[in-house]
Structure 1
Amino acid sequence: MVRYNPIILSLLTSTFAHEASEEHDHGLYRAGTLSESWSYIEVDLPTSLSDADESILMFGNKKRIVITGGCDSPLGNEYKESPEWGGYFECSSIVNKTYAFDPKRMATASMGSSSVPQEGVWGGEFEELADMPRARARHVNAVVDGKLCLFGGRDAFDGIVAEVDCYDPDTNIWSTPTTLPDDYLTSDAAAFTRDSTVYLIGGYDGYYTALDRVALIDMTDMDNVQYSWNPTLLDERGDIDVVFVNDKAYVAGGYTHANNYSTPFDSVEQMDMTTQQWSFVDNLNNGGGDQQYVGLNGKIYAIGGETKLNQQNSDTEVPHLGEISTILDVVEVYDPNAADNEWIVLEDMPQALFRFAAAEWETSDDEGVIFVFGGQVGFDPDCECFRTTNKVMVFEASNAYVKATAHSSGFMMGVGSFFALALGVMTLIGV
């Protein structure tokens, strides 16, 4: 990836500031507004929700997006003080709810008191399914042989949940086929399924120590679940997600205890399923924790997340703990099949967001979309909290990709002209 030093970057920024301001004036990228690629749907989640997880699950011959557990407190993560722990954040309400979302193309879009025809508008319906056997948040979902299984996460007392609960869409019944051994307990991890084996990756242990371990959970026989270990990640990381594309797994971002969670990773690890070994690929432009990674049409999308305010070499007063976190609205895409294999920055989200759920939705008549459910927004000093939201957004990913790559070509032509001008100026002044 092309990277510029700070001096050159500042020149580039000032040179193209006018063009950027014109785009903002058109309202395409202004925070809090909709754009050509992002929109809110008219249907909200049944409750404000964060720290949930989602999966695509088949109900007979019909697929739906299933959302499990999470934090349903409107205040999200609230600031607390403790003689033992100092300042920290926690959610006051963890749920055992399960919702199925059925996306639908809408024939019309509401415009005030009237409705007008508008192609490509998305809506949908939520259905509440059977309650999970226990409440949990910051867990992971994995679909195994048509059943949805939940691994790890935290309970209302911040303990790691050991039970593995599985949902059968044919019967609307939950069961608990196994319990994670102590060495396999984790939260804020990532998981994917290959055949009948779940790969449970990274996360934190009970004391929030970041993990590099990769557990293999063979659920071919749910009455006799088998546990083993796979080659470890190259870095210990929690608050992560994983995407499985073209028989390779990709894990990116996240935090580690090694730097006191002060700076998220921007590195991306890839596991080749043939060798089972991890290697680094191109870094993210914007590293973060609690981002969502979604695979759609062979591409990987990194959405939202959280980073930290850099307090090094700062003479200013240290801000409140909550104000150190910066919530991201950035979106990037990585195409493993592209010749350059670089992350490309796309159009921003309408709302900076983290701790949300996101799922791809492939359709037969177009390029598919990505749905974003709930999450937490930026720090609110009035409540000293990161509030949750019940909003659902839809991202026209292919539209954003085409737009970004077209703009990138024009931008690079502009960069070439700029450097030609800069070289002439430096020649005149004798640099």
Structure 2
Amino acid sequence: MKKGLFLVLLTIFMMVTIHPLKAHAAETNGWTKRADLPEERIGASVGVVDGKIYVFGGASQQSKFNDATYMYDPKTDLWTEKASMPRERTGAAYATVGKKIYVIGGLTDTTKTVHKTIDVYDTELDQWTEEPIKMPEKFIYTSYITGSLRAVTVGEKIYIVASLSSSQVNFYSYDTV
């Protein structure tokens, strides 16, 4: 009887102490579950300003193409809806310069119409403007029909790599000043 009671108490003790250890290990071993984006997205653009994460456009089951903008604050674990983009787009490249995020290219609809504009989101004013420049035709079509488009910022310049294949890569820079 003493042996049986001992085994029951040992089992209870192990369950109580091991379960919290597993939960703690999952939290400290890298990934932590955070608040979900209010709407599903694929092909959205994402930028970071002042430690806040901004998600632009993309597509979903409900809306094939989207113009919504959301901001995530990691400190509060909350999403906030912001001003919508001037146009729907998915698959756009993005680059952050100061307090502004540049959304470049992207598809507008299922006919694979490509945006030939750069929209700029001002995170301080929560408003969008369109840059007056038009992107080079080769840059646009190389990047979106079958290739990829990536952007990175160095200082106040945006550098873009547009590739159709490993043998055809176009490289551009855009001075935001």
> 1:215 touches 1:230 (CA, 8 Å); kept in 2?
no
User: 1:273 is matched by which residue type in structure 2?
Assistant: T
The residue number in structure 2 matching 1:231 is 133
| CA displacement at 1:247 relative to structure 2 | 3.1
Which of 240, 245, 256 does residue 154 from structure 2 map onto?
A: 245
The residue number in structure 2 matching 1:117 is none
| CA displacement at 1:173 relative to structure 2 | 0.3
- What pairs with 1:368-407 in structure 2 (closer than 5 Å)? none
Residue 131 of structure 2 is aligned to residue 221 of structure 1? no
- What pairs with 1:171-210 in structure 2 (closer than 5 Å)? 171-181=76-86, 184-207=87-110, 208-210=112-114
The residue number in structure 2 matching 1:131 is 36
> 1:252 touches 1:265 (CA, 8 Å); kept in 2?
no
- What pairs with 1:31-50 in structure 2 (closer than 5 Å)? none
> What do the CA deviations read for 1:175-222 (whole angstroms, capped 9, x no partner)?
1012223xx221111111212211110111113222331112222123
Which of 57, 70, 82 does residue 165 from structure 1 map onto?
A: 70
> 2:97 touches 2:153 (CA, 8 Å); kept in 1?
no
User: 1:215 is matched by which residue type in structure 2?
Assistant: D
SS at match of 1:126: coil
CA distance in 2, matches of 1:265, 1:166: 36
> 2:85 touches 2:128 (CA, 8 Å); kept in 1?
no
Structure 1 pair 213–195 and aligned structure 2 pair: CA distance change class (3 A): same
CA distance in 2, matches of 1:170, 1:250: 31
What TM-score results when the alignment is normalised by the length of structure 1? 0.31
- What pairs with 1:30-109 in structure 2 (closer than 5 Å)? none
The residue number in structure 2 matching 1:141 is 46
CA distance in 1, matches of 2:153, 2:69: 22
Which of 160, 173, 176 does residue 270 from structure 1 map onto?
A: 173
The residue number in structure 1 matching 2:115 is 211
The residue number in structure 2 matching 1:67 is none
Larger helix percent: 2
Which of 56, 59, 62 does residue 154 from structure 1 map onto?
A: 59
> 2:105 touches 2:114 (CA, 8 Å); kept in 1?
yes
Structure 1 pair 196–189 and aligned structure 2 pair: CA distance change class (3 A): same
Query: CA-atom RMSD, angstroms?
Result: 2.6
> What do the CA deviations read for 1:361-397 (whole angstroms, capped 9, x no partner)?
xxxxxxxxxxxxxxxxxxxxxxxxxxxxxxxxxxxxx
User: 1:243 is matched by which residue type in structure 2?
Assistant: V
SS at match of 2:131: strand
* Structure 1: 4+ residue segments shifted above 4 A: 262-265
CA distance in 2, matches of 1:243, 1:153: 19
SS at match of 1:199: strand
* Number of matched pairs: 143
Structure 1 pair 230–146 and aligned structure 2 pair: CA distance change class (3 A): farther
User: 2:130 is matched by which residue type in structure 1?
Assistant: S
User: 1:249 is matched by which residue type in structure 2?
Assistant: I
| CA displacement at 1:251 relative to structure 2 | 1.1
Structure 1 pair 202–264 and aligned structure 2 pair: CA distance change class (3 A): farther
> What do the CA deviations read for 1:257-302 (whole angstroms, capped 9, x no partner)?
xxxxx9995111111233xxxxxxxxxxxxxxxxxxxxxxxxxxxx
SS at match of 1:128: coil
CA distance in 2, matches of 1:169, 1:191: 20
CA distance in 1, matches of 2:132, 2:72: 26
User: 1:252 is matched by which residue type in structure 2?
Assistant: V
CA distance in 1, matches of 2:154, 2:75: 28
CA distance in 1, matches of 2:84, 2:122: 13
Structure 1 pair 158–133 and aligned structure 2 pair: CA distance change class (3 A): closer
User: 1:241 is matched by which residue type in structure 2?
Assistant: R
Q: Percent identity, aligned pairs only? A: 23
Structure 1: unaligned runs, 5 residues or longer? 1-100, 103-123, 256-261, 275-431
CA distance in 2, matches of 1:266, 1:143: 27
Structure 2: unaligned runs, 5 residues or longer? 1-26
